[in-house]
């Protein structure tokens, strides 16, 4: 944060986005939930087991456990955390820094993390909805 940003927005900061927790429920037909969930499970297994170990000569259990742990933690964070930046306060033209406002820096930072969590959302949301469809209690 530069001195200009602190001086001009010290008393009246601009709008920033929010970070919320959100449970994603797909209102799709059962067939599409099953198709999307199965595709996401196949992609998840591909990313966990094939990509890290295709260059190794021997399978290392410790590395497989670490890859699984970090991937699952990323998917849980991606599923529950919903970052919503304020798109009206992103600087000039949406990407050029406004030297007199620090809140546009905060919103661009939030946009970066929203993009970082997007692949996890694409994988986690269909899997959770598939499991909720398969293991739903029948009353």
Instruction: Tell me if 139 is assigned to some domain.
Output: no
Of the candidates 105, 100, 106, the one whose C-alpha atom is nearest the C-alpha of residue 18 is 106
- Does residue 93 have a pLDDT over 90? no
pLDDT at res. 137? 61
Average pLDDT of span 123-132:
90
- Does residue 47 have a pLDDT over 90? no
Residue 93 falls in which region: left (phi positive, over 0), alpha (psi -120 to 50) or beta: left
Average pLDDT of span 82-103:
75
Instruction: Tell me if 29 is assigned to some domain.
Output: yes
Instruction: Tell me if 41 is assigned to some domain.
Output: yes
**How many domains in the chain?**
1
Average pLDDT of span 41-68:
74
**Which range of residues forms the domain containing residue 67?**
3-134
DSSP-derived secondary structure letter, 1 = -
- Does residue 21 have a pLDDT over 90? no
Instruction: Tell me if 93 is assigned to some domain.
Output: yes
- Are 76 and 90 contacting, i.e. CB atoms less than 8 angstroms apart? no
Instruction: Tell me if 103 is assigned to some domain.
Output: yes
pLDDT at res. 22? 74
Q: What global pTM score does this model have?
A: 0.74
Instruction: Tell me if 53 is assigned to some domain.
Output: yes
Q: Give the phi and the psi of residue 128 in degrees, each rounded to 5.
A: -65, -40
Between 74 and 66, where is the model more confident? Answer: 74
């Amino acid at each position: 944060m530069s001195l200009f940003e602190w001086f001009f927005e010290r008393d009246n900061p601009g709008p920033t986005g929010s970070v919320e927790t959100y449970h994603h429920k797909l209102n799709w037909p059962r067939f599409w939930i099953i198709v999307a969930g199965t595709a996401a499970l196949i992609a998840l297994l591909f990313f966990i087991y094939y990509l890290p170990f295709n260059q190794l000569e021997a399978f290392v259990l410790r590395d497989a456990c670490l890859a699984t742990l970090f991937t699952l933690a990323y998917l849980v964070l991606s599923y529950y955390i919903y970052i919503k930046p304020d798109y009206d306060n992103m600087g000039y033209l949406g990407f050029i820094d406004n030297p007199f406002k620090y809140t546009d820096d905060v919103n661009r930072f939030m946009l970066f993390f929203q993009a970082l969590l997007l692949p996890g959302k694409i994988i986690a949301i269909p899997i959770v909805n598939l499991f909720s469809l398969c293991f739903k209690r029948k009353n």
